[in-house]
Amino acid sequence: MTAIKTVGVAGSGTMGAGIAIVAARAGFKTIVYDTRPEALARARKQTEGFFAKSVERKKLTQEQVDRILADLTATTEAAGLAACDIVIEAVFEDLKVKHGLLEALNRVCPPHTIFASNTSTLSITEIAAGSGREDRFVGTHFCLPAQLMKLVEMSPGLKTSDETFQTAWDFCKAMGQVPVKTKDNPGFILNYFLIPFNNDAIRLVEAGVAAPADIDRAIKTALGYPMGPLELLDLVGLDTHLLVAEALYAATHEPRAAVPALVRRMIAAGRLGRKTGGGFYTYSGNAMFGG
């Protein structure tokens, strides 16, 4: 059982849209907040496409999808999240941006509302310090793509109460996710390994060792990964990878976390990945990974 009934997701990018799908699919009333109407419209279209594939693959019925979509709404006003029991922020990996968002949410959300962060590299304690409710703040890092991956890395900040952490833990399990507890440490578990690994794959491309498709094929075939590192980078977005890698490098000074020069060149050329139609691969359309 969980005390949480209504879920807010702040940010309607790839991660935010995926988290909203997870919550709504589990039967929670879910509200997505973004100041950009066009971003919300794009996320809604992608979400409907995702669920259409779920029906095609007979994972859900059309009736189930209709109920899910009816409980999944959007707002361009922070006040639209006032009825939420938990709000998960999924915005840029920038401490000032997150603090600005949380300050606005703290003004409109009631005292019982838990704030959670989907950050993959920043300190939960530092983010919580700008939330106005450090005891009711917790890290909930979903894996990309959230609507397909089960793992959630859960990290308490220094002031997170035991009650808050347990409530968020029970909520993750109620969504059908698999939570693991981590220390508030740069990169937590996954990105501690994944960011340097992905940078190594980029360096292979940069050095002309092999083409992206061959690197991904080798990793998937030999290591059993469902997705190659360069496919994953295109899904994440090269601009997002830059932010998280810079944050990890700043916190750890690990040389392998430093972003290869090729990433900045690709960003300058507008090759961010799936969302721009091209990154390490070329894409048609703006589809979200289907279920």
Residues with a known catalytic role: 120, 141, 153, 191
Q: Which amino acid is at 195?
A: I
Closest to 137 measured CA to CA, from 121, 149, 125, 151: 125
> 260-263: long-range contacts at Cβ-Cβ below 8 A with a sequence spacing of 24 or more?
260/199, 260/202, 260/203, 260/206, 261/206, 262/202, 262/203, 262/205, 262/206, 263/202, 263/238
- Sequence-ordered alpha helix ranges (H) in the chain: 14-25, 37-56, 62-70, 95-108, 124-128, 162-174, 190-206, 212-223, 229-236, 238-252, 261-268
